[in-house]
A and B are shown apart, each in its own frame.
Chain A
Amino acid sequence: MSSDHDHHDGNDDHELRVSKIRDGTVIDHVHGGQALNVLAILGIDGTKGEEVSVGMNVPSDRLARKDIVKVEGRELSQDEVDVLSLIAPDATINIVRDYDVVEKHRVERPNVVEGVLSCPNAGCITTGDEPVTSRFSVLEDGVRCSYCETIVRDEIASLIDT
């Protein structure tokens, strides 16, 4: 279904790409190489028959190379968008209904993300069997466990609790 516009030349043609979705979400301006992490955050691994198109490292005006993720039949919740912002701070979210973009917004970094990332500190109380939801506060340049206070700056995507 998307093979036709994969052959477009380098210009920012996401309007065209977007128009190929009937109902769902287009996550655009994801930093190059992060698309699979975006899918991980959304819990999409293809096993449930989700219809997804991914463009990786396509040329972009705003970012040198960008990824783009199109999810058919699903509108992202604010929570999901919040977490996306941690790995895709420049992303734009386009909500599509009946081929039209009905909403378009930038992601905003939340102050806190809950139940999404797991703490990398083996000595943290959240890594055991306690009935506790992980909680991280969002710093300018990373996230911080609200329990053990460990700061993670790189590889936030690797903490995603899938």
Chain B
Amino acid sequence: MRHDHLITSKQLSRGDIETVLDYAAEIDADPSAVADRHAGTLLGLLFFEPSTRTKMSFETAMKRLGGDVVDMGPVESSSVKKGETLADTVRVIEGYADALVLRHPKQGAATMASEFVDVPLLNAGDGAGHHPTQTMLDLYTIRENAGLDDLTIGIMGDLKYGRTVHSLAHALTNFDTQQHFISPESLQLPREVVYDLHQRQNGTGIKEHDALEDVLPSLDVLYVTRIQRERFPDENEYQKIAGEYQIDADTLAAASDDLTVMHPLPRVDEIAPEIDDTDYAAYFEQAHNGVPVRMALLDLLLSEDESIGGEDDE
């Protein structure tokens, strides 16, 4: 099936995901082969909330495909500040660009925006909702390090507001994975996400925990996310909780030697720097993978004759 927009990881089948990851691997191996594929193509970057990395990663990907970007700039200096609706903004920028990348603080923003435009729209994060391109690079990194089937993954930290976590969890249900969600009670997965995960047929294993030590030895991958201070009314409460979800060399003594540690970055102090030079660390590699993965996604969405997932995998 063909997708015109990439809004959530839920829309992607296993076949879709494999198509993108395989193509990203091809591009990674020989980026020059696609260097001119989209000469003259313009990608519109609409970032209604700051995200230097994601934005730069899309910009790099588009330029490496031979295209260029137009950027609406910071919200403070744009017409949005004057009260223009998102629906109007995307309809205007659609006139300049061949595809749009949208980051917006409101949940459902990408779904709504996609209803107003004909060019492909990629969701680069909508509030606490979805972040599917991050998921694709996460999956790429997981596949490179641990494979995607027969996988036991721990996802730890702020699972409530973490859109990268929600997108990843949905996508992983396409594979034979056991997912362990580790968080303080107040930052557990939203019930909506749990509902969806349980809706998926052929049951992916889903378990929730409040302590990493319960599951650490069984994990192939540990995906760590940041617990934000502003989620807690009181600094002491934050310090107490955050400390329990940080990892260092001592924590990992109980882990398998093959454990892969990931983090969507930026990190603050969730992962001690002493882990960086160990074989566990995959988070910088993960960040670098953003470019070939986004090149693959952009190319597939921008090419008339191709699509993500040429045929149904079912």
- Interchain CA distance A19-B115 in the complex, whole Å: 47
Residues of B within 8 A of A131 (CB): 85, 87
Determine how close the nearest CB of chain B comes to the CB of A134; give it in whole angstroms: 10
Query: CB of B104 within 8 A of chain A?
Result: yes
Residues of B within 8 A of A130 (CB): 85-87, 112
Query: CB of A128 within 8 A of chain B?
Result: yes
Query: CB of A126 within 8 A of chain B?
Result: yes
Determine how close the nearest CB of chain A comes to the CB of B180; give it in whole angstroms: 23
* Known A132-B112, A151-B195; contact A123-B107, beta-carbon cutoff 8 A: yes
Query: CB of B127 within 8 A of chain A?
Result: yes
Asked whether B107 lies within 8 Å of A124 as measured between CB atoms, the reply is yes
Residues of B within 8 A of A149 (CB): 107-108, 129, 192
Taking residues whose C-beta sits less than 8 angstroms from the other chain, chain B's interface range is: 20 to 34
Query: CB of B308 within 8 A of chain A?
Result: no
Residues of A within 8 A of B106 (CB): 123-125, 128, 148
Determine how close the nearest CB of chain B comes to the CB of A127; give it in whole angstroms: 8
Asked whether B195 lies within 8 Å of A147 as measured between CB atoms, the reply is no
Point out the residue from B87, B129, B191 that lies within 8 Å of A148, measured CB to CB. Answer: B129
Asked whether A148 lies within 8 Å of B127 as measured between CB atoms, the reply is yes
Residues of A within 8 A of B107 (CB): 121, 123-125, 147-150
Q: Is the interface of B mostly helix, strand, loop or mixed?
A: mixed
Asked whether A148 lies within 8 Å of B108 as measured between CB atoms, the reply is yes
Interface centre among A126, A129, A130, A151, by most chain B C-beta atoms within 10 angstroms, is A130
Query: CB of B128 within 8 A of chain A?
Result: yes
- Interchain CA distance A130-B105 in the complex, whole Å: 14
For chain A, residues 145 to 161, give those with C-beta under 8 angstroms from any C-beta of chain B.
145-151
Residues of A within 8 A of B86 (CB): 125, 130
Binary A-proximity of B105-142 (CB < 8 A = 1, otherwise 0)? 11111011001000000000011110000000000000
- Interchain CA distance A123-B49 in the complex, whole Å: 14
Residues of A within 8 A of B191 (CB): 151
**Interface residues contributed by chain A, number (CB under 8 Å):** 18
- Interchain CA distance A151-B104 in the complex, whole Å: 21
Determine how close the nearest CB of chain B comes to the CB of A95; give it in whole angstroms: 35
Residues of A within 8 A of B111 (CB): 125, 146-147
- Interchain CA distance A132-B87 in the complex, whole Å: 9
Determine how close the nearest CB of chain B comes to the CB of A123; give it in whole angstroms: 5
Residues of B within 8 A of A121 (CB): 107
Residue of A nearest to B88 (CB): A131
Interface centre among B106, B109, B126, B191, by most chain A C-beta atoms within 10 angstroms, is B106
- Interchain CA distance A144-B193 in the complex, whole Å: 12
Residues of B within 8 A of A132 (CB): 87, 112, 115
Residue of B nearest to A129 (CB): B85
Residues of B within 8 A of A144 (CB): 192
- Interchain CA distance A146-B105 in the complex, whole Å: 17
For chain A, residues 3 to 22, give those with C-beta under 8 angstroms from any C-beta of chain B.
none
Residue of B nearest to A139 (CB): B195
Interface centre among B87, B107, B109, B129, by most chain A C-beta atoms within 10 angstroms, is B107
Can you list the 9 inter-chain pairs with the closest CB atoms, starting with the nearest? A147-B108, A148-B107, A148-B108, A125-B108, A125-B106, A125-B109, A125-B112, A123-B127, A123-B107
B contact set with A: CB distance below 8 Å = 83, 85-87, 104-109, 111-112, 115, 126-129, 191-192, 195
| 20 more CB-based (< 8 A) A-B contacts, given A146-B111, A149-B192 | A121-B107, A123-B106, A124-B106, A124-B108, A125-B107, A125-B109, A125-B126, A128-B85, A128-B106, A129-B83, A130-B87, A130-B112, A145-B108, A146-B108, A147-B107, A148-B107, A148-B108, A148-B127, A149-B129, A151-B195
A contact set with B: CB distance below 8 Å = 121, 123-126, 128-132, 144-151
A–B Cβ pairs within 8 angstroms, 22 of them: A123-B107, A123-B128, A124-B107, A125-B104, A125-B107, A125-B109, A125-B111, A126-B108, A126-B112, A128-B106, A130-B87, A132-B87, A132-B112, A147-B107, A148-B108, A148-B129, A149-B107, A149-B129, A149-B192, A150-B192, A151-B192, A151-B195
